[in-house]
Amino acid sequence: MPIETLADVIKGTGDPELPLKEALRPANPALGVVAASLGLSLVGVYAIDVAVVADPGARSGLPIATTALKQLIFTMMGLFAAAVVALPHHRIIGRISWALMALVLCVLVFLLVPFVPEALVRPRNGARAWINLGVTDFQPSEVAKVAYVLVVAHYLRYRKEHRTFRGLLMPGLITFPAVALITLQPDLGTASLFVPSLFAMLVAAGARLRHLTVIVLVAALAAPAMYPMLKPHQKRRFVAMLRQIQGDRTTADDMNFQSFTAQTVVGAGGVAGNADRRARALLRYNRLPERHNDMIYAVIVTRTGLLGGLAVLGLYGLWIGSALITAAVCKDPFGRLIVVGLTAFIAIQAVVNVGMTIGLLPIVGVTLPFVSAGGSSMITCWVMTGLIYNVGLHRPRPPFRQSFEFADG
């Protein structure tokens, strides 16, 4: 290996890696992310089977439901995808981030083209969010999360303009196209995840908290003006949440049916849960909509009780904590921002999904990462895991270029 000059190291043009055996040592905190991802994925496969199969004694042929088997296959595909993205240095991935984002935006535009045949883009629940690939469906908005984090991290990595109000304009402009296109599908739930991820990366990059606080306050004050622009079904979700907060049970068989049913089956889990057959029967006769997808957390708590629900949250805690430790020990600003941005997506999505399941948040159609049924979501979550492991694996050598260490903190 050629000897690097000090200038090469500081500029990041030399070999940035430590010896592989050192990077792979058990102390690597990114291993906690991998372990939590695997645990959540396996929990999801079982929960999907419980949600789909009402009577396990009536199975014919396969030991698990077809939907659960597909989820298991997607999990293995996700593991492979994670291994692929973990191998090349994340700086190499950063060089193609803008091209990847441009490609994703083109696909998001393609979804909205009205004359595309329904055999290729068929609306579901009024949303044009999936492309039919024959054997499965592809949801581009999931890939947009990864591309977006890579682009913002690549833009911010050596800058300080974002520490001014004017400097925050460019990250906002980068965010706008993806959020706008996903909102037009319409998929307000997924679109709402991008801004928290941006704020997390800005905080990690040293943006001034007072600037971000002002932006949040202005956005909160302007939010009511956006209500007339929402679709009718989106307005119903907020009205339903308000009725639920007011304790109005008259909507339990109408707009709040899914929310109240989810809370009912969650409560039926008690502390320790129900036996397998009883849990399946409860889910069958309570007719919980989307129980294998958006409402999968209710299935888990019905089967395993409060303790099982807390255990799942503990796995998310392990995932998030291990990822943040990986970001903290990473001296490369690009790698650090990748980890923070991806962690924000997983954390916010998990909080929103659990919150809407137990009635604390309106139902906005957000899945539970690694657990809900869905190929695009599963593979994307594992790609996120692979990228975080990539950052933990490829550690830069000292001396390090200054990364967001500003004099005023």
Reply yes or no on whether the pLDDT at 25 is more than 60: no
Beta-sheet strands, E only, within 76-170:
131-132, 137-138
- Residue 360 CA to residue 322 CA, distance in Å, equals 27
Q: How many angstroms separate the CA atoms of 276 and 303, rounded?
A: 7
- DSSP SS3 for 124: strand
> Rounded distance, CA 48 to CA 280, Å?
11
State residue 409's pLDDT score: 45
Q: How far is CA 274 from CA 56, 160, 261, 314, in A?
A: 15, 54, 17, 20
Report how far residue 409's alpha carbon sits from residue 388's, in angstroms, rounded to the nearest whole number. 25
Higher pLDDT, 302 or 404: 302
Q: What is the pLDDT of residue 17?
A: 47
Helix (H, G, I), strand (E, B) or coil at 158: coil
pLDDT digit string, tens, across residues 214-240: 888 877 777 666 666 666 766 676 677
What three-state secondary structure class fits 150? helix
Question: How would you class 18 by CB atoms within 10 Å of its CB: exposed for 0-12, middle for 13-18, buried for 19 or more?
Answer: middle
* Residue 37 pLDDT exceeds 90: yes
**Does residue 399 have a cis peptide bond before it, meaning omega lies within 30 degrees of 0?**
yes
| Separation CA 220–CA 207 (nearest Å) | 20
Token reading at 314: 């503990």
Residue in the block written with tokens 């090469």: 8
137 closest CA partner among 363, 352, 378, 366 = 378
- Give φ, ψ of 157 to 5 degrees: -55, -35
Could you tell me how far CA 264 lies from the centroid of its own chain?
26
Q: Distance between CA atoms of 143 and 127, rounded to whole angstroms?
A: 17
Please give the full DSSP string across 253-285, using - where no structure is assigned: TTTTHHHHHHHHHHHHTTTT---HHHHHHHHHH
- For residue 79 the two structure tokens come to 């593991």
pLDDT at 262: 86
Q: How confident is the model at residue 206 (pLDDT cuts 50, 70, 90)?
A: confident
152 C-beta neighbours (distance < 10 Å), count? 25
Instruction: State the amino acid at position 205 in one-letter form.
Output: A
Which strand (E) or helix (H) includes residue 42?
helix 30-52
Tens of pLDDT along 299-332? Answer: 999 999 999 999 999 999 999 999 999 998 888 8
C-alpha–C-alpha distance, residues 109 and 121, integer Å = 12
pTM: 0.87
Residues whose CB falls within 8 Å of the CB of residue 87, separated by 6 or more in sequence, listed in order: 390
Mean pLDDT confidence for 175-194:
90
pLDDT at 296: 94
- The rounded distance, in Å, linking the Cα atoms of 87 and 12 is 18
